[in-house]
Amino acid sequence: MPVLLDKRFSNGGAHQLSLMFTTGIVTKFVESVGGMMTYEYSLTDLFGVELSGGYFSGQESDIMAQVRTKLAEEPAFSDLYQLQWQASADLVLVPIYGKVSFASTFDPSFDVYALLGGGVAGVRRQNGAGETKAFVSKTTPVFNFGLGFRLYFFETEGGQSLALRLEVRDFVFPEPDPSESGLTYDLHAQAGFQFAFGGAR
């Protein structure tokens, strides 16, 4: 109980801006890298709301390139749509927080969070290869959920802080092709920095 009462700061009322690099983890058919920007407002220490947007540069994997060289027709595979951009609104839950003690004068705070939300995304699918390569682009609903860790290595009494943010987030969207059914799961690892201001300390 004394440790909980001696919490170093409160996130309630804080505004948090993040910039993160993101890369796909499961790359069987499609590979992607990109960037994400987020704005989060912490309603309380436990709950927050977040707006996020990202751009992704995607392409088919080497496996798909080999498949296309061996097939005379378009492969009848699902999960070939590449995530190009997304915009979503998320609910953030922060159930765990604490401090890391490296030395008597340096004890950075950290928290672990989970998020869940949805929005819209732009996706595209490659048709053909080489000189006949073309893309079909579509807009689709997207849902996302993830887990993250933030290490606050700079904090001020005025409510400003700088944190390292690490996150795993899964983007889920329905197969845009009417002839296909099911969901595409695009799992990403993300890392970057977060700047926070406002709120109570």
CATH of the domain at 185: 2.40.160.20
pLDDT computed for residue 182 by the predictor = 82
Query: What is the torsional sign of CA 149, 152, 157, 159?
Result: negative
**Residue-range definition of the domain harbouring residue 88:** 2-198
> Tokens at residue 94, please?
């922060």
The secondary structure of 7-42, three-state, reads CCCCCCCEEEEEEEEEEECCCCCEEEEEEEEEEEEE
Q: DSSP string covering 125-160, please? A: EEES-GGG-EEEEEEEEEEEEEEEEEEEEEE-TTS-
Which residues of the chain have a pLDDT value below 50?
A: 1-6
pLDDT computed for residue 200 by the predictor = 61
pLDDT computed for residue 32 by the predictor = 87
Number of domains in the chain: 1
In tens, the pLDDT along 153-171 reads 877 766 788 999 999 999 9
pLDDT computed for residue 192 by the predictor = 97
pLDDT computed for residue 10 by the predictor = 67
What is the C-alpha separation between 61 and 190, in angstroms, rounded? 20
Query: What is the torsional sign of CA 79, 84, 87, 93?
Result: positive
Q: The whole model's pTM is what?
A: 0.83
Q: DSSP string covering 52-109, please? A: EEEEEEEEE-HHHHHHHHH-SS----SS-PEEEEEEEEEEEEEEEEEE--SBTTB--E
In tens, the pLDDT along 59-86 reads 877 777 777 777 766 666 777 888 999 9
